[in-house]
Structure 1
Amino acid sequence: MSSIRSRFTSGGESYGPIAILISVVVVAGLSQGLLLPVLSIFMEQRGISSSVNGFHAAALYIGSFAMSIMAERILKVSGFKKLLLGGLIAVTAALPLFPLTASLSLWFVLRLIVGMGDSAINFAAQLWLLLVTPPNQRGRIISLYGMFYGLGFSFGPLGIKLLHFGNMAPFIVLSGLFLALVLIIIYRLKDTHPPRQETHEEKGGRRYAKVYALAWFALIPALLYGYMEAGMSGTFPVYGLRIGLDSGEISTLLPFFGIGGLILQLPLGLLSDRIGRKKVLMAAGLLGGLLFFAVPLSGASFWPLLIIFMLAGGLVSSFFSLGLAFAADILPRTLLPAANVVASFHFNAGSMVGPNFSGALMEAGLTSALFLLLGSGYILFALSGFLFKGSPSKSKTI
């Protein structure tokens, strides 16, 4: 493990490994934050039903789910650098093709490719940071990771404004950013592999069963975060148009959800290092759930929605990262790669269910379905914390 840490932190290059990973996370967030609302608006303007819109939005996460099944095995063979490059190249190649065709079938395939690429990027970056972060700094470092992802995700919807320059404009800008990262990683990032003992001490399904048994509560946040992220990006634009918001108001509101996360993510991470991650997750889930229930009560009022989004985003945007950090606290280090895979499963499952279920309920007439389901999910999660008795692992820390 010390060899991984030394390779990760060594060198005095202007583009050090941590800066490169942060850049990767920001751009990955940009692609997620822009692609879902832009394509949702395109489809809504073409008169495509919200259920079909939701199904197509879920394609991104079907691809991500497929990659998460293979990612641990690929990482063992390829190493961190090659897995990151593969994900970046896949997204770079797919993005410019979206505005070149109106075929929904081809869009579905392209979303699958982007989902697989984003999953490869995030899996490698998350696991790398978990393996090299000391437990007493884990909340801080993982929150920074989530914060920079949120930075990209928050500003992604602002790319909607680039549509004034043509439908190609936002996709070309994103592709250019991904291509720049490919070149930086090729020339600046040292390659390394996870240590063998981290992936082979437990075999087969027993690893995943053990992860669930020891850390089920810490893995639920990934499910909720996936549902929330996909629902807000893929379903909220449709909800907003139907309650009377225009595309400019929608593109302005969505970033404030992430801005709240940027403001509170690091403080919540630091607080979790001090008082415990379980307490922070339960409190944030309860308050966040109540705020989601308040969204339909605000109607189409821009300023109340902006305030609610910023507060709710601040509370729940750290769920994925804090959940992973809590799992790393509880589990022995030999199970961390498996926990990362399970978290990816949960994230992608939530992301697939979110747009589909909410879209179907909207089609059936329940316009506020997204926020009623989010509010219920977060409150139930907070209450389930009283049933969880997990304690920090006594195994040797990384």
Structure 2
Amino acid sequence: MQEKSLTMLADAPLTPTERRRSLIAVIACISVVGMGLGVSIPLLALLMERSGVPASLIGLNTAMPALATFVFTPFIPGLLRRVPAIAFLLGCIAVSAIAMPAYYLFPSIWLWFFIRFVNGLALTGLFVVSEFWINTLADEKNRGRLIGIYGTVLSCGFASGPILLFLVGTEGMAPFAVIACVIAAAALPLLLFGRGLAPRVTERPTRSFASFFIAAPAATLAGLVYGATETDIFNMLPVYGVRIGMTEQTAAFVLSIFAAGNILCQIPIGLWADRADRRFVLLVCALIGLLGTIAIPFVAHSIWLFAPTLFLFGGVVVGLYTVGLTLLGERFRGADLASANAAFVMMYSIGALIGPPLSGAAMDLWDPHGLIVAMGGLCGLYVLIAGWRYFTAPRIRPAP
């Protein structure tokens, strides 16, 4: 028997001050977590490399958070019916903060698999609930803009992580202690601004978890395509660049250009999505993602051509994530929205898991342009799905 009702404070009339406090709480929280991630990912990779860990084991260890996401996301909506969102987020922050010194105290690659998996569970909870919170605060006039701001601030936090790593170094306990403190600091905006304003779920979703992939295929698969594309860019594009003749420094530098596009274009795309048919925006993002992928071999010989191409590609393809989340918020409410957000994060995680292995296998078959075939093939399939949904799904009038 279903419980009586769904109570969500974000659906109640909030004063402008309460709405600002709520937005500050959730966006500041996730941006600080992003900074902690931006430090920890390269730190762990560097330490494993320094210890002589084989590249295959480094790759498997790096995949643990994605595996944790795949395992944990179906259970998050149910947990939110039993645990208040603020308490849930604070618990996730505590687990993630404690995990950092645990890496230092237990310097074994095999124990790191377990620690990274548990840390991945906590990070999954943080991302799913924060995105659910943002979607509940938004309305159809500003949903794309708010999600664009959320994504931009998160990307800025993630991008600033390596700068912090440069300042604290990679030796001894210091970097782990600093990262733990940074992640723990994410609790402050929740306690100062978010208490009493987080969404509450008190009923079961009306749909099964798997049904969201059928009910909203364009929105949910946008997460998968972006997860695979982003992971391919950061993991495989430097390898591609070196194999076509770039220096290692240039191949690494182009990642900053892709990240800059991510940061600067999310808000404009979100604003566009608030004023246009969001399925059309999603289709355009997918088309430019396909064209950008195909263009890479033709412009990569010149940094002056490659840089603007990669900036535009990175800026527009991130719209798959921004607009995909926006479409879910437009379509679902309450417990269904919590489940839809969880499904979206799971699809992103699946994309991150399958992208690099597929691209790596393709590069083995056609070195190095198999990467372009793999990425382009995935984007091309998604263009067909996004186009099918745009031309056949019922039209939703954009907010005035």
Q: C-alpha separation between the residues in 1 aligned to 2:244 and 2:102? A: 31
Letter in 2 for 1:151: C
Q: Could you tell me whether the CA contact under 8 Å between 1:135 and 1:329 is conserved in 2? A: yes
Matches within 5 A, 1:70-219: 70-99=75-104, 102-159=107-164, 161-162=166-167, 164=169, 166=171, 170-191=175-196, 192-197=198-203, 199-200=204-205, 202=206, 205=208, 208-209=210-211, 211-219=212-220
Mapped to 2, the partners of 1:108 and 1:33 lie a distance apart of 19
1:164-199 Cα offsets, whole Å, 9 max, x none, are 5636555443322112222443354314452424x3
Structure 1 range deviating more: 326-335 or 267-276 = 326-335
**Is contact 1:331-1:392 (8 Å) kept?**
no
Matches within 5 A, 1:55-74: 55-74=60-79
> Which range moved further: 310-319 or 376-385?
376-385
Instruction: Decide whether the 8 Å contact of 1:34 with 1:156 is kept in 2.
Output: yes
Match of residue 379 from structure 1: 380
Give the secondary-structure state (helix, strand or coil) at the position aligned to 1:391. Answer: coil
Are the counterparts in 1 of residues 231 and 356 from structure 2 also a CA contact under 8 Å?
yes
Could you say what secondary structure the match of 1:135 adopts?
coil
How big is the shift at 1:8? 9.4
Contact 1:91/1:178 (8 A) holds in 2: yes
Deviates more, 1:301-310 or 1:318-327: 301-310
Q: Deviations over 1:84-105 (max 9, x none)?
A: 1122112211123435555321
Q: Does the 8 Å CA contact 2:288/2:317 hold for their aligned counterparts?
A: no
Pairing 1:291–2:296 present:
no
Quote the residue 2:23 is aligned against. 18
Residues 1:41 and 1:373: Cα distance change in structure 2 (over 3 Å): farther
Change (3 A) 1:333 1:105: same
Asked whether the 8 Å contact 2:38–2:161 carries over to 1, the reply is: yes
Q: For 1:390, which of 387, 390, 393 is the aligned residue?
A: 393
- Runs of 4+ off more than 6 Å: 241-247
Gaps of 5+ in 2: 1-5
| Superposed CA offset, 1:200-251 (max 9, x none) | 4x26x3x632x33331111111111222333334445555666676776566
Match of 2:9 among 4, 12, 37: 4
Q: Secondary structure at the match of 1:121?
A: helix
Identity %: 25
- CA displacement 1:328-348 (0-9 Å, x = unmatched): 323466632221121122111
Correspondence for 2:344: 343
Deviations 1:243-291 (A, max 9, x none): 6767765664433322212221111111112121111111111112222
DSSP 3-state at the match of 2:185: helix
Separation in 2, partners of 1:254, 1:107: 27
TM-superposed deviation, 1:294: 3.5
1:107 Cα deviation (Å)?
2.3
Root mean square deviation of aligned Cα: 3.5
Which residue identity does 1:390 align to in structure 2?
A
Partners of 1:303 and 1:102 lie apart in 2 by: 43
Partner Cα separation in structure 2 for residue 373 and residue 383 of structure 1: 16
Q: CA deviation at 1:126?
A: 0.9
Deviates more, 1:378-387 or 1:257-266: 378-387
Q: CA 1:195 to 1:281, structure 2 compared with 1: closer, same or farther past 3 Å?
A: same
Q: Which moved more, 1:381-390 or 1:302-311?
A: 302-311
Residues in 2 aligned to 1:65 and 1:386: alpha-carbon distance in whole angstroms: 27
Q: Which residue does 2:259 correspond to in 1?
A: 258
**1:307 corresponds to which letter in structure 2?**
P
Give the direction of change, closer, same or farther, for the CA distance of 1:259–1:327 in structure 2 (3 Å limit).
Answer: same
Contact 1:130 1:138 in 2 (8 A): yes
Check the 8 A contact 2:287/2:383 in 1, yes or no.
yes
Compute the displacement of 1:361 (Å): 5.1
How far apart in 1 are the matches of 2:316 and 2:135?
22
CA shift for structure 1 position 372: 3.6
Moved more, 85-94 or 173-182: 173-182
The 3 A distance-change label for structure 1 pair 185 and 338 is closer
AA matched with 2:132: L
Per-residue deviation, residues 336-388 of structure 1 (Å, max 9, x unmatched): 22211211221111122224434555577744554442232223212322222
AA matched with 1:309: L
Pick closer, same or farther for the CA change 1:27–1:242 going to 2, 3 Å.
Answer: farther
Which stretch has the larger CA shift, 274-283 or 41-50? 41-50
Q: CA deviation at 1:314?
A: 0.4
Measured in 1, the distance between the counterparts of 2:174 and 2:255 equals 20
Find the residue that maps to 1:16 and give its secondary structure: helix
State the one-letter code of the partner of 1:208. Answer: A
Residues 1:324 and 1:188: Cα distance change in structure 2 (over 3 Å): closer
Which stretch has the larger CA shift, 159-168 or 222-231? 159-168
Q: Deviations over 1:6-56 (max 9, x none)?
A: 88955959x922112111221232344444344445545666554433322
1:295–1:329 CA distance, 2 compared to 1 (3 A): same
3-state SS of 2:281 partner: helix
Contact in 2 for aligned 1:226/1:349 (Cα 8 Å): yes
Secondary structure of 2:142's counterpart equals helix
**What secondary structure sits across from 1:375 in the alignment?**
helix
Counterparts of 1:22 and 1:9, CA distance in 2 = 18
Q: Determine if contact 1:288/1:312 at 8 Å carries over to the other structure.
A: yes
Specify whether residues 47 and 91 from structure 1 end up closer, same or farther in structure 2 by C-alpha distance, changes over 3 A only. same
